[in-house]
Structure 1
Amino acid sequence: MINKIYLGLLLSTIFGFAQPKVKSDKKMFSTKDKTVTVYTSADSSDLKMSKTADLRFTELKQPLETQFCLFVNPNKQFQTFLGIGGAITDASAEVFAKLPKQQQQQFFEAYFSKDKGIGYTLLRTNMNSCDFSSGSYTYIKEGDKDLKTFDIAPDRKFKLPLIKSAMNLIGNDATFYISPWSPPAFMKSNNHMLKGGKLLPEFYQPWANYYVKYIQALEKEGIPVWGLTIQNEPMATQIWESCIYSAEEERDFLKNYLGPTLEKNGFCNKKITVWDHNRDLMVQRASTILDDAEAKKYVWGLGFHWYEDWSGGEPMFNNVGLVNEMYPDVNLMFTEGCNEKFDALKYQLWKNGERYAKSMINDFNNGTVAWTDWNILLDQFGGPNHVKNFCFAPIHGDTSTGQLIFTPSYYMIGHFSKFIAKGAKRVSTSPSRSTLLSTSFLNPDGKMVTVVFNQSNKEVTYNLCIDTAATEVKIPAKGMQTLIY
C-alpha cells in the first residue's frame, strides 16, 4: 500500500514538472530600432516644448559612477494614468467670455488639442461660488432646505458654455468633477458662506440632496459628471467660501448621508474623492475615513493640494507615497495647485514653472493617477476674485488688449499632459544623481514617455538607460524635457 502511494506521488511529481510553461501574452518593451525624440523647455530661451533631438540607443552594459544616468525599467509597472487638467471656475469663464473670438480659439487649441496644445482631459468646477467668483451665490433661495427653488442659473451665463465646449473638444477621454466651497449660509454654524463654520447636523441630508440636484442639473444640460469631492479644503477657515469638517465629520457625512443619497438616486457610478486639501494632514484623514469599512465602500480616491508649505516647510511628497502604501486600492488625485500672490512682473518667472515640474514628478512617482491645476484662465490682475485672493494661472487673458499670456507653468504641465495618454502605466524610473528628477509612463500604444527636470544651474549630460541600451542626452540648466521612444 505504501509503495503504491509512493509511486503515485512520484508520477504526479514527474508529470507536474513536465507540464509546459504557459507563455505570457504580455509584449515586452524593446529599445531595438527605437528613436528617442526629445522635447525641451528652458529658461531665458525660445525652447518651449521644442523638439531638440532625435537620438538612437547604443550598448552600455555597466554604467560608471562618474556618469549621470537615468534608469527606466519597463517591466516594473505601477498605477494607471487617468488625466491632467485644470479648473473652469467662474473667473476663468468670465475672462474667456471677454476675449476676442480669435483668442478664444487660440485658448481652446492651447489647452485641448493634442497636436497644437497640451491635451487637457481633466476638468473641475465649483458647486456654489468660490473665491474665484465675482461674488457669493448658491442655487437656492436662502432658507430653502427642501431645495424647491434649486436652479443653476448662475452657471448658465459663463461657466456652462465654456464647460460644454471644453468637454466636446476633449471627447471620450473627458473626466469632469465638481467640488463645493461652502453650503448656503443658513445651513452653517456661522450663518455665513465665508470664514469657515461647520455644516449643521440638521442640514446633513438637505446638503447631500444638494449634490444630487447639481449633478442632475448638469447632466440635463448635457454635461456628464464623472465624480465629486466632498469639500474643498475642509480644514481651512478662509476669508472666502469655506466649511470645516473634522476627519470624523467628513467620514460620517459620507457614510450616513452623501454615499447613501447618491446611491439611492442612481449615482453609484459617481467617483467620490475625500480630503481635497494639503499633503500635511492627508495620512490622518485617510486613516480615519478609510479604516471605516462603511465609509470606505463609497470612496474612489483621496484628493490633495500643494499649499502645505504655507508654514515655511517643504512640500510633503512622502505623505502621498505613505497613503499609497497604506491603501493601495484607493486612488490618489492632485485636485488643486497654483502659484499665489499674483504679480504681473512675474508672468515669466521660471521658478513658478519649476514648482509644477517638481510637484508633478514627485506626485506621480508616489502613486498619483490624475493631476488638476487650479484656474484654467485668469485676467491681467490674477482674477476676478471677490476677496482679492489674486493668483497665477498657466494662461492669462489680458482683457484690455485681448491677448493671451502663456506662463512657464503652461509648458511644464504640457511636458506631461501633451504626451502621456489616458490608460498609460507608470514604470520604474531612477536617476543616479539628485540633480535629476524623473518619471516615466508606458502609453497604451507602446510608446514610452520619460519626463526629466534638471534641478541644477548647469547643463547636464545624462544617459537614458534601459537594460543594457542607452542614449546620451543633454538637458539645459533648470531645463525640462520629455523623451518619447
Structure 2
Amino acid sequence: MKNHFRYSFFLFLLTVCSFGQTSTEKTFKGKSIEVYTTAKDTDLRISKSAMDTFSPSTQPLETEISIFVEPEKTFQTFMGIGGAISDASAEVFDRLPKENQEKLLEAYYDPEKGIGYSLARTPIHSTDFSVESYTYIEEGDKDLKTFSIAHDKQFRIPLIKKATRAAGGELLLYVSPWSPPAFMKSNNSMLKGGKLLPEFYQSWANYYAKFIKAYEKEGMPIWGLTIQNEPMATQTWESCIYTAEEERDFLKNYLGPTLEREGLGDKKIVVWDHNRDLMVNRSNVIFDDPEASKYAWGTGFHWYETWTGADPLYENVRRVNEAYPDKKLMFTEGTVENFDASRYYYWPNAERYGEQMINDFNNGTVAWTDWNILLNENGGPNHVGNFCFAPVHADTPTGTLIFTPTYYYIGQFSKFIRPEAKRVSTAVSRSVLLSTTFRNTDGKMATVVMNKTDENIKYRFKVRDAETHIEIPARSIQTLIY
C-alpha cells in the first residue's frame, strides 16, 4: 500500500512538472547565436557576420544600450511577407532572359536560396501599373455574361503559378480591385475616383465572386480579398471612393452575402486597404456593426499617410489592435514613390521598409505586403506615369536584374521569420535602435535589430537570464538567430 502511494505521488509530480513546462527554452545560457547583417558601405547583404554564445546575464546599466527579449510573453501569429504580382511586374518578367527569370523567382520565393516570400497580392483587372485600363467584361454588361480572365493568362497568371512553384507549391494569394468598370460608376470612368452606383452594387459583388472562381479554376487558390484599394483617394488612375458607411453597407448587404451564396464564405474579407491615418475610423464604423463585422476578417493598411505632411502613424495600428483584438491587421501596400534611377542604391529607401516593418509588427500586424515585386528601368510600366521603386528592377535593354538595398532589408525579416511564428516581447533601452522578435514553429528565435544612425553601436542582447554583446554597423539591419 505504501509503495503504491509513493508510485502514485511520483506520477502526480511528473504530471505537474510536464504541464508546467513551456515550448520555450528555460535558459539560453550556453546556447549559440548567429548574426546576419545587411549594412551600408559594406559587402554585407543578409550575410552571416558573427557567431557567439550566450553567457549568464548581469544587471544592465542605464548608460548601456540594451535589447531585452522575454520568450514567455507572446503575441500575434505571423502569416507571412510578400509582394504584389501586378501586370507591370508580370510583363517586365516576361521580357527577362529565362536564366534571369529563374534567378528572380529563386531570389524572392526560395526560403533557402532566396528570401522566402510566402504571400502575394494581385489586382482584380487593371491598376495604374498596367499598360492600359481594362476589365474582364464588355462595357455595359451588368449581367457579366462576357466575363473572362483571358487578359491575365498572357503574363500575370503564368507568373503567379511560377512564383507558387518556387515557393514550394504554396503561396497565400489575395486580391484587390482598384475600380469597378466605368459604366458602374458615378463619373463613368475607371479613373479619377467616382463612386459605385447603387444600382450596380449586386453586379459588382457578383464580379468578385466570378473573378475568384475563375482564378481558382486555373489552379490558384484565393485566400481572401480587400474590398477596395484606397477607398478615400481620388487618383489620376483607377480609383473609387467609399465612405466608411458605404463600405460597411456594401460589405454587409452585398459582398458578404454574395460570397456566402456562391460557396466562397471561407474567403477572408479585408476592409479599408488604405493609409493608417483613417484606419481607426474605418474599423470603428465597420466592426461596430455586427452584421457587417461578421464578414470582415480584419483591416488592411498602407503607409502613404505621410503625403499630407504627417509622420507615419504607427500608433493607429496599435489602436485598432487594442480595440478589436478578434480582428487581424495586414499591411497591404507600400512603395517608394517618385522613381529616380540614380537612387537605386539610396539607403533611406531600404530603411523606410525596416522601420515600418518593425513598428507594424510590434503593433500587432500579422502579414506585410510590398507593392510590385519587379519594375523596369523607368519604374514602370505605368499608364499614367506614376513611376515608383521596387525591391528589384530589370534593365530591359540588357535583361539584367538590379537588386536594391530594399530587397535585402525585407529579406532580413522574410527569410528568418516564417509563417506561424509567434511574436515575442522585445524592448530596447535606447531609441537609436529598433527591434522585434518572433519564435518560429521549430523553436528558433529570430530578433531583427535596426540601426539608422551613422555610428556603429555596441549593445547588450539579453534573453531572460542570458546575454551576449553584439555590435551593429552604422546604417544597417541584423537578424539574430538563436
Per the normalisation by structure 2, the TM-score is 0.96
- Identity between Structure 1 and Structure 2 (%): 64
Aligned partner of 1:15 in structure 2 is none
Q: Is the 8 A contact 1:425 1:443 kept in 2?
A: yes
Instruction: Spell out the pairing of 1:21-36 with structure 2 (5 A cutoff).
Output: 23-29=19-25, 30-36=27-33
Task: Say if 2:44 is the partner of 1:47.
Answer: yes
Task: Say if 2:471 is the partner of 1:467.
Answer: no
Aligned partner of 1:141 in structure 2 is 138
* CA apart distance, 1:173: 4.4
> Secondary structure of 1:151's match?
coil
Pick the aligned partner of 1:121 from 118, 122, 126: 118
Aligned partner of 1:294 in structure 2 is 291
CA distance in 2: counterparts of 1:387 and 1:141, whole angstroms? 22
Q: Is the 8 A contact 2:270 2:296 kept in 1?
A: yes
CA distance in 1: counterparts of 2:186 and 2:127, whole angstroms? 18
> Secondary structure of 2:277's match?
coil
Aligned partner of 1:240 in structure 2 is 237
Aligned partner of 1:7 in structure 2 is none
Aligned partner of 2:166 in structure 1 is 169
Aligned partner of 1:441 in structure 2 is 438
* CA apart distance, 1:187: 0.1
Task: Say if 2:415 is the partner of 1:418.
Answer: yes
CA distance in 1: counterparts of 2:367 and 2:235, whole angstroms? 26
Query: Where do 4+ consecutive residues of structure 1 move more than 3 Å?
Result: none
Q: Please list the CA deviations of residues 293-327 of structure 1 after superposition, one character each: whole Å capped at 9, or x if unmatched.
A: 00010111100000000011210000000000000
Task: Say if 2:55 is the partner of 1:77.
Answer: no
Instruction: Spell out the pairing of 1:72-471 with structure 2 (5 A cutoff).
Output: 72-171=69-168, 173-471=170-468
CA distance in 2: counterparts of 1:217 and 1:33, whole angstroms? 54
CA distance in 2: counterparts of 1:332 and 1:371, whole angstroms? 9
Q: Please list the CA deviations of residues 140-165 of structure 1 after superposition, one character each: whole Å capped at 9, or x if unmatched.
A: 00000000000011101100000111
Q: Is the 8 A contact 1:70 1:463 kept in 2?
A: yes
* CA apart distance, 1:172: 5.4
Q: Please list the CA deviations of residues 186-235 of structure 1 after superposition, one character each: whole Å capped at 9, or x if unmatched.
A: 00000000000000000000000000000010011111101000000000
Unaligned runs of 5+ in 2: 1-12
Q: Please list the CA deviations of residues 44-76 of structure 1 after superposition, one character each: whole Å capped at 9, or x if unmatched.
A: 211111110001111222111121100000000
Moved more, 61-70 or 425-434: 61-70
Unaligned runs of 5+ in 1: 1-17
* CA apart distance, 1:260: 0.3
Q: Please list the CA deviations of residues 256-301 of structure 1 after superposition, one character each: whole Å capped at 9, or x if unmatched.
A: 0000000001111101000000000000000000000000101111
> Secondary structure of 1:281's match?
helix
Q: Give the AA of the match of 2:299.
A: L
Q: Is the 8 A contact 2:127 2:238 kept in 1?
A: yes
Q: Structure 1 pair 395/455, CA: closer, same or farther in 2 (3 Å)?
A: same
* CA apart distance, 1:456: 1.6
> Secondary structure of 1:368's match?
coil
Q: Give the AA of the match of 2:392.
A: I
CA distance in 1: counterparts of 2:192 and 2:20, whole angstroms? 58
Q: Is the 8 A contact 2:256 2:295 kept in 1?
A: yes
Moved more, 422-431 or 168-177: 168-177
* CA apart distance, 1:33: 3.4
Q: Give the AA of the match of 1:295.
A: A
Q: Is the 8 A contact 2:29 2:56 kept in 1?
A: no
Q: Is the 8 A contact 1:62 1:468 kept in 2?
A: no
* CA apart distance, 1:25: 5.0
Aligned partner of 2:4 in structure 1 is none
> Secondary structure of 1:249's match?
helix
CA distance in 2: counterparts of 1:295 and 1:275, whole angstroms? 13
Task: Say if 2:26 is the partner of 1:62.
Answer: no
Q: How many residue pairs are counted as aligned between the two chains?
A: 467
